[in-house]
Amino acid sequence: MGACPSAHGKDKVPTETVLKSSRAGSVSETAEPATLLRTSGSKINSSSVPTGDALPLTRAIAGRLAGKVAIITGGSKGIGKGIAIMFARQGARVIVNYRSDPAGADDTVRECEAIGGEGCAFKVHGDVGKKEACEALIEAAWSKWGKVHVLVNNAGMEIQGDFLDVTERDYDRVMDVNMKGAFFCTQAFARKCKDEGIRGTVVNISSVHEDLPFPGFTTYCASKGAMKMMTRNLSIELATSGIRVNNIAPGAIETPINSSVLKDPTKLKELLSKIPLTRLGKPEDISLCAVYLASDESTYVTGTTIVVDGGLTWYYIEHH
């Protein structure tokens, strides 16, 4: 694949807000969805639980995003990092947004450039939980390359806690990043696309917990359910401007947020017993789906959610 054009200009850097929980408990800020770890219910009947194999990257068709420019929020690790790298592999120029992990963002940019050539990716710092940071991110991307074709709303976070103990601060933080960020990034992106006649594409990264209950994560589930409904509504509202809006709902993905499960053989086996394909997903499973939704292969697809979970959702519904 040929190198991307050299980048010019400087990153715009909105003010960063550091997350601090107002209570004790488990706090996780991440760019991928939480994992369903309920231990009750039926299990897949097998004497052993194989992990299976994901689709090899070598089978991906190259160049599907050639000529496109894409923004990925929360691109410093996990699913967001995987999407950024896969987009570069498919010929896109990539803007990597991050909030609190500049080293991770640098690593994502380096991996993108190793595939697509020097200058095909750059990072923009900003907390998308703030409206002004969302607008600055979109403006920085347009200033860099003159146009943007794809927005991936991937940044997300979770704060675990019993419903009766959820504070307003924790509620606001989860909803601000997961829902408010996606809302105002999409608004700023859609305004630019409409003004410049670009048939843009929005890909939201939600979670199977937009539909499945997850006790202890009520705010997270509510934010992902809201993202699903926003996807549906905007697919109609923005269609007249030629802008498509779709959603991906990942299941249990092999990313840093699930490290505690990966390190515990008992928990891992329990989780895998509820996934018909008997393996965790990999970031590539999500990124290849995102490539499809961002590409011209899906020009008649809008307002839908693609569930990428190895069968977890329907198995869960069947046994609960």
Active site (catalytic) residues: 220
Name the β-bridge partners of 173: none
- Comparing CA positions, the residue from 13, 7, 17 lying closest to residue 136 is 13
**Angle subtended by helix axes 218-237 and 168-175, to nearest 10:** 40
- Quick check: 279 and 51 in contact, CB under 8 A? yes
Count of residues for the chain? 320
* Rama region for 223: left / alpha / beta (φ>0; ψ in -120 to 50; rest): alpha
Name the β-bridge partners of 79: none
Alpha-carbon gap, residue 191 to 134, rounded angstroms:
13
Alpha-carbon gap, residue 230 to 226, rounded angstroms:
6
Alpha-carbon gap, residue 138 to 130, rounded angstroms:
13
- Quick check: 44 and 276 in contact, CB under 8 A? yes
Tokens of 307: 């569930």
Alpha-carbon gap, residue 280 to 190, rounded angstroms:
34
